[in-house]
Structure 1
Amino acid sequence: MTRTSFIFLYAMFLFFRPPVLYAEPVQVHDDLGRLVSLAKPAQRIVTLAPHAVELLFAAGAGDRIVATVSYSDYPASAKKIPRVGSYTAIDVERVLALHPDLVIAWDSGNRKNEIQKLIQLGLTVFINEPHSIADVANSIERLGKLAATEKVADRFVKRFRRHYHRLQKTYQNRRKIRMFYQIWNAPLMTINGQHLISAVMRLCGAENIFKDMPSLSASVSLEAVIAAKPEIIIVGGNKNKNAAWLTAWQAWTTLPAVRHDQLYFINPDLLHRQGPRILDGADIMCRDVEQARAR
């Protein structure tokens, strides 16, 4: 073979061979401020909360999820993802057997000892806990970076932020309405001002009557609700399954919310999950608050 022929064949080899991809290491901080590092973008992800599944799908990485927990049912394709227990009872051995390169944990939902065990066993864990609407968008951006799906994540976040600013512009200067938001019936439970749902209340121009509670969520007395005189009561529940939760308030006619018939349901999945549908829930809440404001 002549030297010219060799050079030609070698050039053809270089031209037609598949490109070698050198994955860059990825680093982000999670919601506890921990540095989360991956040698390459995540390909096998386990999520330990339903909202984390929704965040990953919004970030364009839903097809990387190899396992999740019970109640992870949105979007519809999430129902087919294998389960590794519930968010309060993780099957650690099953998680390990899946060899994930990334685990998304939920700080206020998962048991602390189970999260720590996964970390101690050498798994890379991103701990998520959005407290504000901005945190939801930031979560999607960081998960997009961890999975190298930034373009999809960025497109979603741009739409999400436009939606947020539209609501903010509409309601930020409206008269404040006192709200009681009920998350459970027996015992009667609500959330404090640090909870993400309270951020939605503020966006809509509503004030959480229990914003100063020390815990994110806690039981409250009926007497305390009556004393606070809410102008609107919203129940995070299913209108068909939990109808009694709202009708029980009808007996308390001294409450402004009852007197003016300002009692509403909201699908809890929209607001109780700290995910990308939070603004869909905000649309509904803001509409209800506007009704109460008009009375």
Structure 2
Amino acid sequence: MAFTSPTARFALALLLMLPALAASARVCVDDDAGRRVCLEQPAERIVALSPGATELLFNAGAGERLVGAVSFSDFPPAAKALPRVGSYKRLDMEAVLALKPDLVVAWISGNPETQVQRLEELGLTIYRSEPLRFADVADTLERFSVLAGTERTGRAAADHFRDGIAGLRDRYADADSVPVFYEVWEEPLMTVNGEHLISEAIRVCGGVNVFANLPTLAPRIGKEAVIAKDPEAIVAGGMGEDNPEWLEPWKRFPALTAVQRDNLFFVPPSTLQRPTPQMLEGTRLLCRHLETARARR
């Protein structure tokens, strides 16, 4: 049969294009475990298994596609209204499955891997997330936006974050170094090593993490170890956004340089302890604190 009319030729051309159009709707990215994650079309129902992933997805423009999150997913405020699927340490598998997500964002070092694997075995698409550098935060924003079909928003958020961090690096590139102890938790006493994202924030500001050489990402330490290191500044996140009570016990050690110079500084934990764009503001505050420490020499 000959297709001679314009209408017939258009219909034939459309038929030939359909496979290519279907293929173009497929979206793929590499996750932080080095695995290829592909969806037949941008995700419409996303479950986030860490507060950080929830925040990153909102930043990437995918907030309206989120249908579930774990406890303590509290930023932005809209995240508080999402149905809960347990905590990041113990997932409610039935709650996850009931939401029928087409994408689940897991936290490599935080979620129970056996539960994540089970979700995968049950047919869910899993993106494993673990931003370890500022560059990873920006890259994650772009990847999430690809998976959600919100590339313009994701790229803009990533560029803003990259530019902000680059500006801080330039500003403090020649600043005098400040030995820093960062307290990530009080009981048990915990800090971060040089591989942690918080340690990168310290370096950006011209600080030196006194426990950078420890082998564990978030090691437990004793107060004696802090006293032996004698940091010039002690920075703590505390248990709330405006609760610097963890700094008070250090005042019982007046021989510490940080105590003698009143270099006991608080940074709201949500701005420095989650791998999200809020780290830009947290790093700015940290840099101002270290500038104060330099001025008190």
Assess same fold via TM > 0.5: yes
Q: Distance in 1 between matches of 2:281 and 2:115?
A: 32
Distance 1:76 1:118, change over 3 A: same
Deviation at 1:117, TM superposition (A): 1.1
Contact residue 192 and residue 212 of structure 1 kept, 8 A: yes
Deviation at 1:239, TM superposition (A): 7.0
Distance 1:34 1:118, change over 3 A: same
Q: Distance in 1 between matches of 2:42 and 2:227?
A: 52
Q: Distance in 1 between matches of 2:215 and 2:137?
A: 23
Correspondence for 1:112 = 113
Cα offsets for 1:7-56 (capped at 9, x unmatched): 8xx99xx9xxxxxx846111111001011111111110000001111111
* Corresponding letter in the other structure for 1:197: I
Distance 1:164 1:101, change over 3 A: same
Q: Distance in 2 between matches of 1:185 and 1:242?
A: 11
Deviation at 1:148, TM superposition (A): 1.1
Correspondence for 1:218 = 219
Deviation at 1:204, TM superposition (A): 0.6
Q: Distance in 1 between matches of 2:212 and 2:243?
A: 28
Pair 1:285 & 2:286 matched: yes
Q: Which runs of 4 or more aligned residues in structure 1 lie more than 6 Å from their structure 2 counterparts after TM superposition?
A: none
Correspondence for 1:97 = 98
Pair 1:145 & 2:146 matched: yes
What RMSD in Å do the two structures reach over aligned CA positions? 1.7
* Corresponding letter in the other structure for 2:263: Q
Q: Distance in 2 between matches of 1:218 and 1:232?
A: 19
Correspondence for 1:204 = 205
Contact residue 242 and residue 268 of structure 2 kept, 8 A: no
Q: Distance in 2 between matches of 1:240 and 1:46?
A: 29
Q: Distance in 1 between matches of 2:91 and 2:275?
A: 19
* Corresponding letter in the other structure for 1:152: T
Q: Distance in 2 between matches of 1:152 and 1:241?
A: 33
Q: Distance in 1 between matches of 2:213 and 2:122?
A: 38
Figure out how many residues of one structure are paired with residues of the other and give that number. 278
* Corresponding letter in the other structure for 1:130: P
Deviation at 1:97, TM superposition (A): 1.6
* Corresponding letter in the other structure for 1:144: S
Secondary structure at the counterpart of residue 85 of structure 1: coil
| Alignment gaps of 5+ in structure 2 | 1-6, 15-20
Deviation at 1:74, TM superposition (A): 0.6
Correspondence for 2:179 = 178
Correspondence for 1:60 = 61
Distance 1:239 1:269, change over 3 A: closer
Distance 1:128 1:239, change over 3 A: closer
Deviation at 1:158, TM superposition (A): 1.5
Cα offsets for 1:177-212 (capped at 9, x unmatched): 100000111221111111110110111111111111
Contact residue 172 and residue 205 of structure 1 kept, 8 A: yes
TM-score scaled to structure 2, two decimals? 0.90
Secondary structure at the counterpart of residue 191 of structure 2: strand
* Corresponding letter in the other structure for 2:68: A
Q: Distance in 2 between matches of 1:226 and 1:54?
A: 36
Correspondence for 2:128 = 127
Contact residue 244 and residue 266 of structure 2 kept, 8 A: no
Q: Distance in 2 between matches of 1:63 and 1:77?
A: 10
TM-score scaled to structure 1, two decimals? 0.91
Q: Distance in 1 between matches of 2:133 and 2:242?
A: 30
* Corresponding letter in the other structure for 1:123: L
Deviation at 1:242, TM superposition (A): 4.9
- Percent of aligned pairs with the same residue? 47
Contact residue 50 and residue 69 of structure 1 kept, 8 A: yes
Correspondence for 2:168 = 167
| Alignment gaps of 5+ in structure 1 | 1-6, 15-20
* Corresponding letter in the other structure for 1:59: A
Correspondence for 2:48 = 47
Q: Distance in 2 between matches of 1:212 and 1:122?
A: 41
* Corresponding letter in the other structure for 1:269: S
Deviates most, 195-204 or 232-241: 232-241
Correspondence for 1:3 = none
Deviation at 1:109, TM superposition (A): 1.1
Contact residue 193 and residue 212 of structure 2 kept, 8 A: yes
Deviation at 1:85, TM superposition (A): 0.6
Contact residue 239 and residue 265 of structure 1 kept, 8 A: no
Secondary structure at the counterpart of residue 291 of structure 2: helix
Q: Distance in 2 between matches of 1:208 and 1:42?
A: 40
Cα offsets for 1:107-159 (capped at 9, x unmatched): 11111111111111111100110111110000000001111110111111121
